[in-house]
């Protein structure tokens, strides 16, 4: 019996439950599932609405979503060209080594070229050596110049009052 072919495409309404499942699986893998708040409604409203705030590429094998690449665009930076930001790349454990991750990266490269983005940027867990090896095989390099920084901001969603300017 032949394996179903792998395809990568932008997500659609019928993919929402699978995309959410894969996002949750990533949250478990990366250790932030207790803070995970994304719902199907959020994916529909912010990813499939009239002005999407992000995109998702779905790796599909035989009609089953097995991987996702969640991305968004920074419209321009120092060179007046957009940067494509890969927010999340995740492939279901059962589909790893089937080429889904590489296919998602290839689709991201094509998307970046189509929008005139000369670069794709992302972060990797410091401890995720397997991901680092995978990204190197895809032609990516560790940015030796920039370090990731985070500044946590208390918001109204935290249940505490915040005064604005």
Q: Of 3-7, 12-16, 72-76, 113-117, where does mean pLDDT reach its minimum? A: 3-7
pLDDT band of residue 1 (cuts 50, 70, 90) is very low
- Its sign, for the CA torsion 48, 33, 134, 151, is positive
The pLDDT tens digits for 10-50 are 999 999 999 999 999 999 999 999 999 999 999 999 999 99
- Cα Dmax for the chain: 64
Q: 3-class DSSP state for residue 27?
A: helix
The residue among 87, 85, 84 whose CA lies nearest residue 19 is: 87
pLDDT band of residue 3 (cuts 50, 70, 90) is low
pLDDT at 60 (0 to 100): 96
The pLDDT tens digits for 131-158 are 999 999 999 999 999 988 999 998 886 6
């Amino acid at each position: 019996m032949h394996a179903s072919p792998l395809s990568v495409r932008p997500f659609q309404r019928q993919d929402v439950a699978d995309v959410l499942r894969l996002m949750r699986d990533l949250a478990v893998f990366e250790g932030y599932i207790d803070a995970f708040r994304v719902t199907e409604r959020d994916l529909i409203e912010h990813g499939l609405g009239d002005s999407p705030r992000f995109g998702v590429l779905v790796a599909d094998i035989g009609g089953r979503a097995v991987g996702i690449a969640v991305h968004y665009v920074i419209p321009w930076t120092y060179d007046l060209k957009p940067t494509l930001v890969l927010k999340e790349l995740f492939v279901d454990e059962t589909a790893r080594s089937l080429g889904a991750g590489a296919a998602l990266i290839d689709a991201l490269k094509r998307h970046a070229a189509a929008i005139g983005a000369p670069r794709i940027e992302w972060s990797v867990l410091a401890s995720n050596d397997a991901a680092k090896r995978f990204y190197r095989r895809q032609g990516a390099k560790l940015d030796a110049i920039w370090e990731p920084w985070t500044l946590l901001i208390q918001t109204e969603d935290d249940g505490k009052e915040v005064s604005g300017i």
